[in-house]
């Protein structure tokens, strides 16, 4: 309760360990909102293997690759399979968002815009396809479904995590391609969707031909390229600061506070520390909050009104349906059939 009411805390992220039932989740979200109505309640809920709620009525959604495969299925008329795949992806977004919102969750960190180059185990079937155009079209369709249910979106992991084999949860991936190669392939969806994306999460990946810093800590990537060149106006989240790829900056291991300050000064609006609430009673979370407060006083980092405006924009602006109402909603029933059809 103290953490959630701290002025430097903007939201909370759920994992599978945080709930026992839909009713428990609904009550937990209501209790959080009773403390601060403006807190953003979030989750990583993509479908496939990255889906935190899979029981007690939640639809177990397919991995995004399945929609890319539908796109490529042969059809009698050229383009039919692509349009059908987009319709299914939109239905998936609607099911995903409407179920979450019925339980009080505001926002999911989806869609994955990474390209499936075939070598990344951490991305793999989370990606729609290898072709950036297919990824863009299916992501836009999924985001339309999210928006129909009143939920914003988050494209990840900028400028692209799909080419590297290493997993940034456990090590620091390095992508040695040129800026031109990255921009024309992996980063292309961000440019094409710049007016549609509500938020972006950069990758804990180093692209040494562009910058020696991981993208999430790089002013060049976040300000010069994403903000200025690609004209992105939405919210930028750091990826989880507890990941190994976030702890190595400039050749040295840094604290969570140092990592957060680096990310915020590089251009992030919000930083995530996802798993440390389970360690030593959340000691690391408290240290991060205290560290950011001290850094603010020392003017090492300053919050700004634009970041807060971008955060507030991610909150839903409509009332959700209850679970019982949702289960008999014709649009939901139709979307469920479309999203799960083979």
What residues are annotated to the active site?
Answer: 169, 239
> In sequence order, what are the residues at sequence separation of 6 or more whose Cβ sits closer than 8 angstroms to the Cβ of residue 220?
210, 211, 213
**Alpha helix stretches (DSSP H) within 188-282:** 188-192, 219, 244-247, 256-266
Strand positions, DSSP E, 152-195: 155-158
Q: How many residues does the chain have?
A: 342
Q: How far apart are CA 193 and CA 185, in angstroms?
A: 14
Paired strand residues for 252: 249
Q: Taking the CB of residue 319, how many other CB atoms lie within 10 A of it?
A: 8
Phi/psi for 172 (5° steps) reads: -100, 105
Q: How far apart are CA 282 and CA 207, in angstroms?
A: 33
β-pairing, 248-249 vs 252-253, is antiparallel
Nearest one of 31, 55, 53 to 44, comparing CA atoms: 53
Which H/E stretch holds residue 59?
Answer: none
> In sequence order, what are the residues at sequence separation of 6 or more whose Cβ sits closer than 8 angstroms to the Cβ of residue 198?
152, 153, 154, 234, 235, 313, 314
Give CA separation, 150 vs 23, 94, 143, in Å.
21, 9, 10
Token code pair at residue 206: 């180093």
């Amino acid at each position: 309760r103290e953490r959630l009411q701290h002025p430097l805390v903007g939201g909370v992220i759920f994992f599978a360990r945080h709930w026992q039932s839909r009713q428990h989740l609904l009550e937990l979200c209501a209790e959080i909102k009773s403390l601060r109505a403006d807190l953003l309640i979030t989750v990583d809920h993509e479908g496939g293997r990255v889906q935190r709620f899979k029981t007690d009525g939640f639809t177990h959604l397919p991995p995004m690759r399945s929609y890319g495969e539908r796109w490529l299925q042969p059809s009698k008329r050229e383009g039919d399979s692509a349009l059908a795949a987009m319709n299914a992806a939109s239905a998936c977004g609607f099911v995903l968002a409407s179920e979450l919102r019925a339980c009080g969750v505001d926002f999911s960190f989806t869609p994955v815009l990474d390209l499936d180059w075939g070598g990344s185990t951490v991305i793999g079937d989370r990606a729609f396809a290898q072709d950036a155009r297919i990824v863009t079209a299916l992501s836009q369709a999924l985001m339309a479904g999210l928006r129909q249910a009143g939920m914003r979106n988050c494209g990840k992991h900028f400028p692209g995590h799909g080419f590297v084999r290493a997993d940034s949860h456990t090590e620091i991936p390095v992508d040695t391609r040129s800026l031109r190669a990255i921009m024309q392939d992996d980063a292309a969806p961000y440019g094409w969707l710049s007016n549609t994306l509500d938020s972006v999460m950069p990758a804990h990946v180093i692209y040494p031909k562009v910058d020696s810093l991981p993208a999430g800590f790089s002013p060049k990537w976040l300000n010069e390229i994403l903000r200025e060149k690609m004209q992105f106006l939405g919210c930028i989240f750091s990826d989880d600061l507890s990941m190994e790829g976030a702890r190595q900056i400039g050749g040295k291991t840094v604290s969570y506070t140092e990592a957060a300050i680096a990310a915020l000064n590089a251009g992030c609006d919000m930083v995530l520390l996802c798993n440390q609430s389970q360690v030593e009673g959340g000691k690391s979370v408290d240290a991060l909050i205290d560290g950011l407060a001290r850094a603010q006083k020392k003017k090492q980092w300053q919050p700004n009104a634009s970041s807060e405006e971008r955060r507030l924009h991610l909150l839903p602006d409509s009332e959700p349906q209850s679970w019982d109402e949702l289960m008999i909603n014709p649009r939901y029933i139709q979307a469920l059939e479309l999203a799960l059809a083979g």
